[in-house]
Amino acid sequence: MTHVYVGCDISKDRLDVFDPRIAANSEHANAPAGIRALFKACGADTILIFEATSGCDRALLEACAAASQPCVRLNPLHAWHFAQSLNLPKTDRVDARMLARLGAERQPAPHLPPAPERVAPEELADRRDQLKRMETQEKNRLSKTMSPVIQTDIRASLKMLAARIARFEAEIAGHIAQNPDLARDAGLLRSIPGIGPVVATGLLAHLPELGQLDRRTAAALAGLAPKAHESGKFRGKRRIGQGRSGLRTLLCMAAVSLWRARSGTAARARINAMTARGKASKVILIALARKIVTIANAVLRDQTPFKPISQP
């Protein structure tokens, strides 16, 4: 069956859709009834292509998962660069046409979005992370003020934030424990050296596709894939970037844990070899973090606990 990429520009209340088979735009409500109408109009040979839009795409993602509708969820930066290369104006209808053209030309691999039970932890984790950032801001304010009144107020705020953070951490843990598939995957992830409860939960929340990716895509989504910076005779340093920054932070935490425990782990030879070659500590940590997400992807793909290779 030949698939057709149908562009979908998403806003809070509306879906602007372009179907290249009829070369026409249409509009649907960004709500269950409107999405059902969209699926009916598109047909079985359709791949929906849209940008990640900070939560506005949540209803469409969940509907795609429930209906087994293949879709492509693009990094908005990639779509923006493609539109810039075409020198296009910026409207919702034009964006829908641009997305359909991007799909036809680039042929990005479609995927089925994760099931709703795998999406829920991400939403909870996002709110927990927001509260953690608020907590850090309040701690910074506390360290700078000399006013007893303000200090008292900030300490009360910190106490309240700590309780709210604990509540969301309990919600995340409870959700995972109540779902057999998530609980099994969390246990598999914790079999990997360096991954504890926080990192395992974070991986399930921020990378629900884990286990369905190739190793390069997993590293890229985590923002741990080094990119060349070269031109002519110039050879710049390779740098990481983009990807999901919160996920990168979690994996770097796991890498630090692995570094500290290196005397008793299979990572010892890798760390020592890179140190002997004069690699900087930061480079070694990034390499470890990239290795951890690669192993995590393989462990969930094979549904087999990690088995370390013994070192002499």
Q: How many CA atoms lie within 13 A of 101 on its CB side?
A: 15
In angstroms, the first-to-last Cα distance of the chain is 54
Query: Rounded to an integer, what distance in angstroms lies between the CA atom of residue 84 and that of residue 81?
Result: 5
CATH T-level topology, domain 4-106: Nucleotidyltransferase; domain 5 (3.30.420)
For 89-113, write each residue's pLDDT tens digit: 889 999 999 999 999 999 988 876 6
Q: What percent of the chain has pLDDT over 90?
A: 35
Asked whether the beta carbons of 224 and 255 are under 8 A apart, the reply is no
Order of strands across the sheet that contains 14-19: 24-29, 14-19, 4-10, 46-51, 71-74
- pLDDT, residue 312, reads 43
Flag whether the pTM goes above 0.95: no
Query: Rounded to an integer, what distance in angstroms lies between the CA atom of residue 37 and that of residue 16?
Result: 13
Residue 244: CB partners within 8 Å, gap ≥ 6?
206, 207, 221, 222, 223
Q: Taking the domains of the chain in order of start, what are their residue ranges? A: 4-106, 117-178, 197-302
Mean pLDDT, rounded, for 122-142: 91
Q: Which H or E run contains 17? A: strand 14-19
Q: Name the more confident of 282 and 187.
A: 187
Distances (CA, A) of 195 to 209, 255, 295: 18, 9, 11
Give the tokens for residue 45. Answer: 């040979």
Distance of CA 146 to the CA centre of its chain: 40
Query: Rounded to an integer, what distance in angstroms lies between the CA atom of residue 130 and that of residue 198?
Result: 16
For 196-244, write each residue's pLDDT tens digit: 888 898 888 888 888 888 888 888 888 877 776 677 777 767 776 666 7
Distances (CA, A) of 120 to 13, 50, 204: 21, 21, 10
Of 91-95, 276-280, 297-301, which gets the smallest average pLDDT? 276-280
- State whether the Cα torsion 157-160-165-166 is positive or negative: positive
Q: Which H or E run contains 87? A: none
Give the tokens for residue 152. Answer: 């008292």
Question: Would you tell me how many other CB atoms lie within 10 Å of the CB of residue 167?
Answer: 13
What are the residues facing 9 on neighbouring strands? 16
Strands in 100-196 per DSSP E: none
Distance of CA 34 to the CA centre of its chain: 27
